[in-house]
Amino acid sequence: METDEPNPPHKGLKKGLYLFPTAFTAANILMGFLAVLYSVRGFQAPPDAAASYYDYAALFIGFAILFDTLDGRVARMTRTATEIGVQLDSLADVLTFGIAPTALVYSWGLGGVFSEKSSAHYFAVFILFMYLMCGAFRLARFNLQATRPRVLIEGTAKVDKKNFVGLPIPPAAGLMASIIHFAPQPLNLYGEDTARFYGILVIILLGILGLLMVSTLRYTSFKTVGTGRTNIYIVLLVVAIGMLIWQYSQYMLLILSALYVSHGVIWYLLSLLTPRRKEAQIESQV
């Protein structure tokens, strides 16, 4: 006599699949945690040894971007995305791509360049905090748009799977980390005038990244990459880029991160030149 089983087959396996995205998120948090520790250790270390700590901290942020990318893809592939996973991922991003990069930038550059009681130092700390707040706001907006994909306010850009609204916080942190990976030597070792000049450039860059995160510029999400018939070409491209990163990580990571951060601005400027954009501007003025 056949009896109905209370649980369908493989339910235990299905429940176990939910651990895979969480494991990648936990790895993301671990990388952010280590990046903060190595940043603090580099600030305390002798000048000749500080560069290695900063380089490791920057690499930890780079690995965190990889884990952050994988946890979302794994969740979509295994259909194990959950609300708590989305919230946990955002909390992890605040640590890894918000607090960790600001701690690294302060230890590597701004903290040693500007005197602690100077107005420039206070302004640098303020910019770091604003960068962190812009990143937190960007994550909160992303979560809201993910749960409520409709237009909330008239004029708010619609959400689609192919694009992000505003610069995501991982690429912003990745650009800062790639710069430090390219030149891990503390800024205060370049000489007083040169160090202050580089410090000002870092402050300007942080301000620009913060504005891009809270902007409505479109950035490619790459969520649909690899889902079509050209998977083999995508795999070959990823392998080629991976090999180049392995051989020339200092140059490739800086180039790739700079290209991604700038492509949203370039995309927007090019859209202003299209006839459709011009017609929409004329109609809005009428």
The CATH number of whichever domain residue 23 belongs to comes to 1.20.120.1760
Q: What is the CA radius of gyration of the chain?
A: 22
245 lies in some domain? no
Question: What's the average model confidence in pLDDT over 13-19?
Answer: 56
Q: Spell out the residues 6+ positions from residue 165 whose beta carbon is closer than 8 angstroms to its own.
A: 141, 142, 145, 157, 159, 216, 217, 218
pLDDT of residue 184 exceeding 70, the answer is yes
162 lies in some domain? yes
Say how far apart CA 8 and CA 173 lie, in whole Å: 44
Q: Spell out the residues 6+ positions from residue 155 whose beta carbon is closer than 8 angstroms to its own.
A: none
Confidence of residue 11 (pLDDT cuts 50, 70, 90): low
Read off the tokens for 138: 């960007």
pLDDT of residue 258 exceeding 90, the answer is yes
Least confident interval from 7-16, 85-94, 251-260 = 7-16
Task: Pick the more confident residue, 276 or 159.
Answer: 276
Residue 222 has a pLDDT of: 72
Say how far apart CA 240 and CA 160 lie, in whole Å: 29
Structural domain of residue 215, as residue ranges?
11-224
Say how far apart CA 235 and CA 241 lie, in whole Å: 10
Inter-residue contact 109 to 198 (CB < 8 Å):
yes
Hey, what's the torsion of the CAs at 221, 225, 228, 233, to 10 degrees?
150
Amino acid identity, residue 117?
A: K
pLDDT tens digits, one per residue of 196-251: 999 999 999 999 999 999 998 988 877 655 555 556 666 677 778 778 888 888 89
Provide the percentage of residues in the chain whose pLDDT is more than 70: 74
278 lies in some domain? no
Residue 257 has a pLDDT of: 92
Count structural domains, the chain: 1
Largest CA distance in the chain: 87
Confidence of residue 64 (pLDDT cuts 50, 70, 90): very high
146 lies in some domain? yes
Read off the tokens for 23: 């494991």
Say how far apart CA 221 and CA 75 lie, in whole Å: 16
261 lies in some domain? no
Q: What average pLDDT does the structure give for the chain?
A: 80
121 lies in some domain? yes
Inter-residue contact 83 to 91 (CB < 8 Å):
no
- Between the two ends of the chain, the Cα-to-Cα distance in Å is 77
Residue 254 CB coordination number (10 Å): 20
209 lies in some domain? yes
pLDDT tens digits, one per residue of 77-112: 666 666 676 778 888 899 999 999 999 999 998 988
Residue 170 has a pLDDT of: 92
Closest CA to 226 of 214, 234, 217: 234
230 lies in some domain? no
